[in-house]
Structure 1
Amino acid sequence: MKTFKFVKSMVVAAAIAVTSLSASTAPVQAQGLIEEIAQRGRIRVGLSTFVPWAMRDRNGELIGFEVDVARQLAEDMGVEVEFVPTAWGGIVPALLANRFDVIIGGLSITPGRNMTINFTRPYAHSGQQMAANIELAGEFTSLDDYNSTSVTLVCRRGATSCDYISQRFPRATLRQFDDEAQAYQEVANGNAHAIISSAPKPAFYTADHPDTIFMANGGDNLTSGNEGFGLRKGDPDALNFFSNWILYRTSDGWLQERHDYWFRDQSAWIDQIAAD
Structure 2
Amino acid sequence: MGRPLLAALAAAAALAAAHGTARADLLDDVMKAKKIRVATDLAIPPSGMIDANLKPIGSDVETAQLLAKDLGLELEFVQTTGATRIPNVQTSKADLIVSTLSVTPERAKVIDFTKPYAALQSVVGCLTAMQAKDWPDLKGKTIAVSRGTTQDTTLTNMRDRDLKIARYDDDATMVTAAVSGQADCVATSATIVGQIGVKNPSRAFEPKVPITTFDLAMGVRKGEPRLVERLNAWIADNLRNGKLNAIYKKYHGAELPPEMRGS
Pair 25,50 (structure 1): closer, same or farther in 2 beyond 3 Å: closer
Aligned residues: 216
Return the match for 1:78 from 56, 66, 72: 72
Letter in 1 for 2:190: A
Match of 1:106 in 2: 100
Q: 1:31-77 deviations in whole A, cap 9, x for unaligned?
A: 11111212322111111233332222221211122112111211122
Q: Which has the larger radius of gyration?
A: 1
Distance (Å, rounded) in 2 between the aligned partners of 1:114 and 1:168:
29
Give runs of aligned pairs for residues 149-188 of structure 1, distance below 5 A.
Answer: 153=147, 183-185=170-172, 187=174
**How far, CA to CA, are the matches of 2:155 and 2:111 in structure 1?**
26
Deviating beyond 6 angstroms after TM superposition, the runs of 4 or more aligned structure 1 residues are 193-196, 213-216
Please say if 1:128 is aligned against 2:115.
no
Q: Which has the higher strand share?
A: 2
State the Cα distance separating 1:230 from its structure 2 match: 1.0
Query: 2:186–2:193: 8 Å Cα contact kept in structure 1?
Result: no
What residue is the counterpart of 1:239 in the other structure?
228
Q: Which residue of 1 aligns with 2:28?
A: 35
Residue 224 of structure 2 aligns to which amino acid in structure 1? Answer: D
Contact 1:131 1:214 in 2 (8 A): no
Kindly tell me: are residues 91 and 99 of structure 1, through their superposed partners in 2, closer, same or farther at Cα, counting changes over 3 Å? same
Q: Which TM-score applies when normalising by structure 2?
A: 0.63
Unaligned runs of 5+ in 1: 1-22, 133-139, 156-161, 171-175, 177-182, 266-276
Task: Give the SS at the match of 1:107.
Answer: coil
Identify the match of residue 116 of structure 1 among 110, 113, 118.
110
CA deviation vs aligned residue, 1:185-238 (integer Å, no higher than 9, x gap): 465689xx99976431x2134334559x9979x753321232111111111111
Separation in structure 1 between the aligned mates of residue 59 and residue 34 of structure 2, nearest angstrom: 23
Contact in 1 for aligned 2:125/2:190 (Cα 8 Å): no
Q: Which residue is equivalent to 2:91?
A: 97
- Distance in structure 2 (CA, Å) of the matches to 1:251 and 1:84: 28
* Identity fraction in percent: 24
